[in-house]
Amino acid sequence: MNHRKVKQIARICHEVARIFCKYQGDPDTRHWDTILEIERESYIQGIIYILSNPDSTPRAMHANWYADKKADGWCYGDILNTKEKTHPFLVSWQSLHPDQKTVDAFVLAIVTTFMSGEEV
């Protein structure tokens, strides 16, 4: 799958997550066009992971994301701060809020739908 298509899927996944979070009471989640490039790249890398691991699970996706962030020097923090490299989701799967687990499941469903090759 070409990079343009991967970026489009990442954008769709982010926007689904944004709307879900908004309706769960998190009005601070920003539109794809206003997030930082580092945030976009994180979504894109998540899509590439799923494409490379089509039998993945939300738990495995989170573990991969967690490992990538830790390797890049990130740590847990109450708020997302790209300068300080802190992220509130940098916790174990067991400690991850159920809403974020739902977002991971949405992302997996969206990507695997595009992978099916059927027109959507």
In whole angstroms, what is the distance from residue 20 CA to residue 26 CA? 9
Residue holding tokens 């089509």?
A: 54
Block means of pLDDT (10 residues each) for the chain, 120 residues, are 92 95 85 94 95 95 96 95 94 96 95 78
For residue 68, being part of any structural domain is answered with: yes
Residue 99 lies in a domain: yes
Q: What per-residue confidence (pLDDT) applies to 118?
A: 58
Would 120 be classed as within a structural domain? no
| In a domain? residue 16 | yes
pLDDT of residue 119: 57
Range of the structural domain that residue 37 is part of: 3-115
Question: pTM of the prediction?
Answer: 0.89
Quick: pLDDT tens for 43-73.
999 999 999 998 999 999 999 999 999 999 9
Find out whether 110 and 13 touch, Cβ atoms under 8 Å.
Answer: yes
Model pLDDT, residue 115:
87
Place of tokens 């993945």: 56
Does residue 107 sit within a domain? yes
| CB 61, CB 89: distance < 8 Å | no
| Tally of structural domains, the chain | 1
